Amino acid sequence: MASSSTSPLIVNNDLQSKQEFFRSTRATVTKLLLGFLVLAIVIVGLVTHLQQPEIVDNSSNGDKPSVDELSTNPLLDNDLKRFLTKLETNAQVEWQRSAYHFQPDKNFISDPDGPMYHMGWYHLFYQYNPESAIWGNITWGHSVSKDMINWFHLPLAMVPDHWYDIEGVMTGSATVLPNGQIIMLYTGNAYDLSQLQCLAYAVNSSDPLLIEWKKYEGNPILFPPPGVGFKDFRDPSTLWMGPDGEYRMVMGSKHNVTIGCALIYHTTNFTHFELKEEPLHAVPHTGMWECVDLYPVSTTDDENGLNMGDHGENVKHVLKQSGDEDRHDWYAIGTYDVVKDKWYPDDPENDVGIGLRYDFGKFYASKTFYDQHKKRRVLWGYVGETDPPSDDLKKGWANVLNIPRTIVLDTKTQTNLIQWPIEETEKLRSKKYDEFKDVELLPGSLIPLDIGMATQLDIVATFEVDQRMLESTLEADVLFNCTTSAGSVQRGVLGPFGVVVLADSERTEQLPVYFYIAKATDGTSKTYFCADETRSSKDPTVGKWVYGSSVPVLEGEKYNMRLLVDHSIVEGFAQGGRTVVTARAYPTKAIYGAAKLFLFNNATGISVKSSIKIWKMAEAQLDPYPLSGWTS
């Protein structure tokens, strides 16, 4: 058993992923070249200024001078100072790019569209600007994969080239028709930005890569109905068949300014749609609903997902919407009446838009699909940047997609979903791992974990709280909330405790992910799962927040978290995925080999015992598909 006064020494390996090694090597080579450059300038300066007093170099005992030291060197002109600063900045920008999350080689990406499994390939379409790293010129990118981790990029699927989508080929969904034909319903932004619903289809549905797509000659197939604003009508869902043999489709909208709603349409031929008199569901004061999704979940099977044709007494339906005004993805669990085409929440106090979210961090515009190959429902969303758009233009890219997650109902609580990284993610893990067992974390403890490079990681950690201390605490932080707290520096009797990622050795930059327990006078407790970005970067221009929410912890369960650390993105899963928080970080110091990992307990009234496993993660393949005569 390790003590809180020393670092645990159960280290199985110091394996570094190949891509991290190359990134680090490039940074080292850059620094060496800078050193040689500075040395040459100093020699020239000494020859030129032989009559001056001797210049003594006191920088770092002979190590390469820092940029700050170089900038004050009188032998360097202003152009060279700017050049050196730019090189250091480029190293930071290069480090920010993810290694195993999906993103194009360059430019802007956002909403996932039309995900599906077809003839041995997973297909992912996505909103993409092929010309810039900021929003605009929205086109559909297209990539394929055998495992949803390693990808091949294909030619663009659809571009804005007709009057009805000239301002953007916006969000849409895929449907496989009974005859095997594959169609896409999508929103087109017309010249005046009115939102029109359009149809496209695969030219050859027998092509495993589905490379060629054609827009329906009769587009648009739907205009905003009476009473709906011309910019308040978007994002058609996947079609499904009802008991009457007609197909259904839902759309996001709002009415009376503030009432968010899901409109529902019927069709029999996929080109003419009939709007039902009442919406599928509506919730006051939730604003415009985007990217509406409706799908079934089993109340008894937490291993397999369900397709839309699955019904029965052991089935609930999830209704989800992306809130255009608050930029969060909200969901609720309830009952879908397949005859009346109405959905009802199990808990009206946690209705869509006012209760539960997929992710309490940076995550938006998500879409699920049923993976018939592995009988699972998979969730995709996009993770936006929190740095200024000017920085995105400089680095040449913006945004990533989350690691795809399986999604099922929590059969133990029956009140929330379980999200978990797809099993294929573990293919990127190193064969060996670092493990620290039974680490004692006394109040105020901070334990460094010596694992080497710490920027591409898969971390699984458990925490056992001293039950005697917990039970003897009568009341603690009843009003606590992650988002209104002061972050991990706010010390309470029963929290925070967790893991610090992306920290430099002095912790001037750090991103803590942690649990915080609040306890009421009646003896009940409530656990929160938080991520604190407030000290994640010394850069004052990037956004930094404290994210998080409550998470159910059932009797007999240890507190547990899984963290996927991938440079500037950290995805956190608490209690097996009951609550998820995604954070962004743009450190200026805690990059490459300078990034460190810690365990901590900043509570004042409890001791915690932690065990943690850490895998280094390899880089995912993101390459152009080898098509003759085409490059991405």
> Is 337 exposed, middle or buried, given 0-12, 13-18 or 19+ CB atoms closer than 10 A?
exposed
| 412 burial level (CB within 10 Å; 0-12, 13-18, 19+) | middle
Q: Identity (one letter) of the amino acid at 59?
A: S
Q: Nearest CA to 290 among 345, 328, 341, 252? A: 252
Distance CA(387)–CA(182), nearest Å, equals 38
What single string gives the DSSP state of each residue in 35-70? HHHHHHHHHHHHHHTTTSPPPP--SGGGSPPPHHHH
111 is catalytic: yes
* Contact indicator for 533, 486 with CB cutoff of 8 Å: no
Please name the residue that has the structure tokens 């990127």.
Answer: 428
Other CB atoms within 10 Å distance of the CB of residue 275: 15
What CA–CA distances, in Å, run from 404 to 383, 423, 476, 494, 611?
12, 10, 37, 33, 26
* Beta-ladder partners of 176: 182
Both structure tokens of 304: 């397999």
CA angle, corner 532, sides to 496 and 420, nearest 5? 90
Task: Give one DSSP letter per residue of 555-582, joined into a string.
Answer: TTPPEEEEEEEETTEEEEEETTTTEEEE
147/120 Cα distance (integer angstroms): 10
Q: Which of 14, 105, 111, 165 is catalytic?
A: 111
Angle between helices 18-48 and 78-96 (to 10 degrees): 170
3-class SS of residue 84: helix
The beta-strand segments (E) located in 139-209 are: 139-145, 151-158, 169-176, 182-189, 195-202
Residue 575 half-sphere exposure, CB side, CA atoms within 13 Å? 24
Q: How far apart are CA 82 and CA 84, in angstroms?
A: 6
Q: CA nearest 173: which of 184, 187, 188, 158?
A: 184
Contact predicate 316/296, CB 8 Å: yes
How far apart CA 293 and CA 249 sit, in angstroms, is 10
- 489 SS3 class: helix
Q: Do 588 and 537 form a contact (C-beta atoms < 8 A)?
A: yes
d(CA 551, CA 280) in angstroms, rounded, equals 29
Please answer whether residues 261 and 243 qualify as being in contact, where contact means their C-beta atoms are separated by less than 8 angstroms.
no
Give the tokens for residue 354: 């006012």
Query: E strands of 384-492, at which residues?
Result: 397-398, 400-401, 405-409, 417-421, 434-441, 445-449, 456-465
Residue 75: how many CB atoms within 10 A of its CB?
Answer: 16
Contact 462, 611 (CB under 8 A): yes
For residues 184 and 215, give the distance between their C-alpha atoms in angstroms, rounded to a whole number: 9
Query: Would you please indicate which residues are annotated as catalytic (active-site) residues?
Result: 111
